Amino acid sequence: MILRTENIVKQYADHLALDNVSIKVPRASIYGLLGPNGAGKTTLIRIITQITAPDSGEIYFDGRRLHENDVYSIGYLPEERGLYKKMKVGEQAMYFARLKGLSKHDAEKSLREWFEKFEIQAWWNKKVEELSKGMAQKVQFIVTILHKPKLLIFDEPFSGFDPINVNLLKTEILNLQKQGSTIIFSTHNMASVEELCDYITLINKSKNVLSGQIDEIRHNYGDNIFEIDYRGETEKLIENIGNNYQVLDSSEQKFFRKIKIKAIDKETGNALIARIIKDAEIVNFNEIIPGMNDIFIKLVEENK
Amino acid sequence: MKKMLLVIKREFIIRVKKKSFIIMTVLTPVLFACLAIVPALISQIKSDKEKTIVVLDDSGIVAGELKSAGTIKFVNEVKPIDSLKNNLIKDENYAILHVEKGEENAIGNITLYSKQVAGIDVINAIMAQIKILAAQIKLQEYNISAEQIAQVLNPNLHIKTFQLDEKGNEKESNTQALMGLAMICGVLLFFIILMFGIQIMRGVIEEKSSRIVEIIISSIKPMYLMLGKIIGVAMVVLTQILIWIILFGIIIFVAQSQFSDIVNQIQSYVKVVSFTKMLVCFILYLTMGYLLYASLFAIVGSAVDNESDTQQLQTIASVPLMIGYFMMIIVSTQPDNPLAFWGSMIPFTSPMVMLARIPFGVSWLEIILSLAILAATFISFTWIAARVYRVGILMYGKKASFKEIIKWLKYKQ
């Protein structure tokens, strides 16, 4: 575990922002932090980045209690980002890099490398006010990851980027993961969660309502519905599966037939296959797993 | 600590590089020079038009005794007042002075008729002469000779002021010059504190409203960010003052012959004991006063959401400064006013009020006491500001009320 929080509580004047939130972030994973607006995600991130302190609860980073110097090992890209408008891009990037503890020489060297990688060398001497929003965000992304932190926290990193740059960013995020960084990733974009995240936590109304490995969660939230393409007789197939299953839908395709079956009593896919296989040739068998979007909506609606 | 240095450096460099800094640095001395020279020039530009005043003297005291002086010329007439008034409307004369006879050989009512409203300088010139004449009449009744009267009324006296130091050595003091210097220092202090205090506030708002602050305080503690900002701006102030001193020095050095008067005057300032006191106090009060108000303005900046919201809170922060400024003006003419003592002890006004008091002699004990109070206040305000600041800079979307700011003080870090 690179990061572990235990029973974090944070109370603002008349509002409990975090209520006993515990999460465990495995090393070198991409960890999605999900939740509706105002659920407490940003507060949790601010506590991890030591911008604010919790009222109670413990945070462990890299095996020991979170320490002041751990800010050097954490990179944070806030959702609402800004740069000094009147400062030159290069100058500003240097300032942020050096605040993160890089020496002047190292900061300049790796900044030049990243500027080259993102093809923005020409911006070095431009003032930030001359850049577009997307351009400024590229600069901010570089500044966030420049000091090679062990833990990276991105809050809605893709907002404001065009699809090409989104891909560029995704590639870089995956690269960083390969190099051993752990990434906490807060977003409302469930497609990118499914695409990138290994683990997630869903925070709703200040509480951790769901945590775990993403595939496992999706599986657990499945309704045990299987979709089968096969060749053979439908009547026989239905007869074979018996009373533990319920046929939801069946249709005739060009080269095979398609059927949707819901398993009652938590029957596994294997048991179903065993029953079908006697009289039908299975072309395709898959369990219908709900998307994160559905799970998100379901959980949040349930808790209303 | 190292990171605070980075903040200081950034705050310093971005300000010093600005065009407005260069303009300010050059323009301020010019402006001050104008402030010093222009009134002198204006006082020299006097109307040279002759003002003829027709004197109708019923008392028999004034006629013939009023001496024409400067642009004012007196002409005696013995005509009824009404016809004089009629003439005045038509002719070029400036005014009619009608002196009536009073009881027992004295001057009665004095009336001045003029076409335009009579200027205060004219009235003063007339009344000064009449008062002396009236006094002469009275004194003559007591059998005092005209010579004696002249001695009494125009004694040939000049004041020379000396200042005794602790060892009993006397030095010629130049109270006037020191007062002038004190006022310049006080005014300078007021403007520097106000101007750079507002710069701090703007800086805080910029970081807050653009959300830069989130990136920064994930690498540096808010308190150090705030201190770095305040110290960085202080460096700018000191640089500016240093440049002014050097500029001034160069000008004096280069144009020594043209400015021999000024050079002499400066030398005479420096000779005065209080000059060193003045300079030391100016720097100490400027630094600490600035630090106190800078924390106040940092609080204001962190409590609002954008610059248009600052009005009310900014006023709260700058009113004590204004009060200090006015106190300074009062104290510079009435150094014995109890306001002087209390004003120079209350930390929000003491930087300016104490500077105004120094020319009249203030013991080091009082100065040290006042500085100690100021130091204690600015330290506690910096502490308060740091606590409010770290909460305030993350509160987006609304302006904080005074009550909320107090509440922030109690928040856990």
Asked if residue B230 belongs to a domain, the reply is yes
Q: For residues B214 and B339, state if they share a domain.
A: yes
Among chain B, residues having any CB pair with chain A shorter than 8 Å are 3, 6-7, 10, 14, 206-207, 209-212, 214-220, 394, 396, 404, 407, 412-413
Residue A101, φ and ψ in degrees, nearest 5: 95, 5
Q: Where are the alpha helices (DSSP H) in B257-410?
A: 260-271, 273-303, 311-333, 338-343, 350-357, 364-392, 402-409
pLDDT digits (tens, 9 = 90+) for A4-31: 999 999 988 778 889 999 999 999 999 9
Which among A105, B320, B210 has a CA at the least distance from the CA of B328? Answer: B320
Position with higher pLDDT, B4 vs A81: B4
Q: For residues B260 and B336, state if they share a domain.
A: yes
Q: How confident is the model at residue B173 (pLDDT cuts 50, 70, 90)?
A: low
Residue type at A7 in one-letter notation: N
CB atoms within 10 A of CB B58: 17
ipTM of the complex: 0.76
User: Domain containing B62: what range?
Assistant: 51-153
Q: For residues A111 and A209, state if they share a domain.
A: yes
Q: How much is the average pLDDT of B351-363?
A: 84
CA distance, residue A165 to nearest chain B CA (Å): 22
Q: For residues B335 and B363, state if they share a domain.
A: yes
Q: Is residue B63 exposed (0-12), middle (13-18) or buried (19+ Cβ within 10 Å)?
A: middle
Q: Is the pLDDT score of B52 beyond 90?
A: no
Q: Is the pLDDT score of B66 beyond 90?
A: no
Q: Which of A159, A189, A219 is the last residue of a domain?
A: A219
The CATH number covering residue B137 comes to: 3.40.190.10
Q: How much is the average pLDDT of A218-233?
A: 87
pLDDT digits (tens, 9 = 90+) for B207-247: 888 888 888 888 888 888 999 999 999 999 888 888 888 88
Interface test with A, best of B212, B387, B390, B406 (most A CBs within 10 A): B212
Asked if residue B56 belongs to a domain, the reply is yes
Q: For residues B391 and B366, state if they share a domain.
A: yes
Cα gap B150→B292, rounded to integer Å: 58
| Cβ–Cβ gap B214/A81 under 8 Å | yes
Q: How confident is the model at residue A246 (pLDDT cuts 50, 70, 90)?
A: confident
Q: How confident is the model at residue B316 (pLDDT cuts 50, 70, 90)?
A: confident
Cα gap A221→A225, rounded to integer Å: 11
Cα gap B63→B84, rounded to integer Å: 16
Interface test with B, best of A14, A47, A99 (most B CBs within 10 A): A99
Q: How much is the average pLDDT of B38-55?
A: 69
* B1 to chain A: closest CA residue: A99
Cα gap B354→B370, rounded to integer Å: 8
The CATH number covering residue A255 comes to: 3.30.70.60
Asked if residue B195 belongs to a domain, the reply is yes
Q: How confident is the model at residue A176 (pLDDT cuts 50, 70, 90)?
A: very high
Q: How confident is the model at residue A150 (pLDDT cuts 50, 70, 90)?
A: very high
Predicted pLDDT at A181: 93
Q: For residues A20 and A146, state if they share a domain.
A: yes
Name A259's Cβ contacts closer than 8 Å, sequence gap at least 6: A227, A228, A230, A234, A237, A247, A249, A250, A251
Q: Is the pLDDT score of B158 beyond 70?
A: no
Task: Say if CB A183 and CB A199 are below 8 A apart.
Answer: no
Predicted pLDDT at A184: 94
Task: Say if CB B348 and CB B291 are below 8 A apart.
Answer: no
pLDDT digits (tens, 9 = 90+) for A263-275: 887 777 888 888 8
Q: Which of A219, A244, A273 is the last residue of a domain?
A: A219
| Cβ–Cβ gap B14/A86 under 8 Å | yes
CA distance, residue A86 to nearest chain B CA (Å): 9
The CATH number covering residue A90 comes to: 3.40.50.300
Residue type at B387 in one-letter notation: R
Instruction: Give the tokens for residue B250.
Output: 């160069």
Q: For residues B82 and B120, state if they share a domain.
A: yes
Cα gap B351→B321, rounded to integer Å: 9
Predicted pLDDT at B300: 86
Q: Provide the terminal-to-terminal Cα distance of chain B, rounded to the nearest Å.
A: 19
Q: For residues A7 and A26, state if they share a domain.
A: yes
Asked if residue A297 belongs to a domain, the reply is no
Name A19's Cβ contacts closer than 8 Å, sequence gap at least 6: A9, A205, A206, A207
Long-range contacts: B280-284, Cβ < 8 Å, 24+? B281/B354, B281/B355, B281/B358, B281/B367, B282/B185, B282/B189, B282/B355, B284/B371
Helices (H) and strands (E) in chain B, counts: 15, 6
Predicted pLDDT at B276: 73
Predicted pLDDT at A160: 78
Predicted pLDDT at A105: 94
Per DSSP (E only), the strands in A35-94 are: 56-61, 64-65, 74-77
Q: Is the pLDDT score of B273 beyond 60?
A: no
Cα separations in angstroms, B114 against A184, B12, B65, B129, B386: 89, 62, 21, 19, 66
Cα separations in angstroms, B94 against B54, B71, B270, B309, B397: 8, 11, 49, 57, 68
Cα gap B248→B271, rounded to integer Å: 19
Q: Is the pLDDT score of B277 beyond 70?
A: yes
Predicted pLDDT at B269: 59
Asked if residue B165 belongs to a domain, the reply is no
Q: Is the pLDDT score of A191 beyond 80?
A: yes
Total domains present in chain B = 2
pLDDT digits (tens, 9 = 90+) for A74-109: 999 988 778 888 889 999 999 999 998 889 999 999
Instruction: Give the tokens for residue B115.
Output: 């076409």
Q: How much is the average pLDDT of A198-214?
A: 92
Measured between beta carbons, which residues in chain A are less than 8 angstroms from residue B215?
76, 78, 81-82, 96, 140, 143-144
What DSSP string describes B351-372? Answer: HHHHHHHGGG---HHHHHHHHH
Asked if residue A303 belongs to a domain, the reply is no
Q: How much is the average pLDDT of B33-58?
A: 71
User: Where on the phi/psi map is residue B301: left (φ > 0), alpha (ψ -120 to 50), or beta?
Assistant: alpha
Q: How much is the average pLDDT of B399-407?
A: 73
Q: Is the pLDDT score of B413 beyond 60?
A: no
User: Domain containing A257: what range?
Assistant: 223-288
Task: Say if CB B265 and CB B333 are below 8 A apart.
Answer: no
Look at residue A196 and give its three-state secondary structure. Answer: helix
